[in-house]
Amino acid sequence: MTNVSGFPYQAAMPPAGATCHCNLCRSVAVVRLIMPLPTISGPDADSPLAIWDMCKLHWPSLRGACERSGHPVTDTTGDLRTVQDEFGHWNVWTSDAGRLYAACYGTGPDGPHGITVDAFLAGQLRAQMHAIDTPELHHV
Ligand SMILES: [Zn+2]
């Protein structure tokens, strides 16, 4: 049975400098949504793709609309469970709106302090966590 409903959409990293495709919005895009356009025979590997770059303001509502219409959004930049496994001393969680968070306790000059980062894609979250975990890379 071919049914457009249920065919997953893909969330990916937008290219640098991409801006939001929403009407009159020129904010920096944080997520690129790739969705196969419906065809008569249903979506398949050869389906043409529609691409939407979305800013952090507009992405959560678009994502919500996709899921309400039966299209789960697949994060192509990584898997949150993998990120959690990789960074065992961080707590990783996700909000209802699909925003991703990670928190850890770091040791600074004033003692332990909490650090929280957030992102919309697992790959973005991982990059921020990695930057905090390896600060020496930024002082070369
Ligand atoms: Zn926007």
pLDDT band for position 139 (cuts 50, 70, 90): very low
pTM of the model: 0.80
Q: How far is the CA of 99 from the centre of ligand 1 (A)?
A: 16
pLDDT, mean of residues 52-58 = 95
Lowest mean pLDDT across 3-7, 36-40, 91-95, 120-124: 3-7
CA of 30 to the centre of ligand 1 (A): 9
Q: How far is the CA of 53 from the centre of ligand 1 (A)?
A: 8
Lowest-pLDDT choice from 4-13, 42-51, 77-86, 109-118:
42-51
Q: How far is the CA of 113 from the centre of ligand 1 (A)?
A: 33
- What is the per-residue pLDDT for 135? 61
Task: Name the pairing type of β-strands 9-12 and 73-75.
Answer: parallel
Amino acid identity, position 68: R
pLDDT for 43: 60
- Tens of pLDDT, residue by residue over 79-128, are 999 999 999 989 999 987 789 999 998 776 777 778 999 999 999 999 99
Q: Using an 8 Å Cβ cutoff, are 29 and 14 in contact?
A: yes
Burial 115-135 (b: 16+ CB within 10 A, else e): eebebbbbbbbbebbeeeeee
Report CA(59)–ligand 1 centroid distance (Å): 7
* Ligand 1 center from residue 83 Cα (angstroms): 27
Ligand 1 centroid – CA 105 distance (Å): 33
**What is residue 5's predicted lDDT score, i.e. its pLDDT?**
54
Contacts of 25 (CB under 8 A, 6+ apart): 19, 55, 57, 58
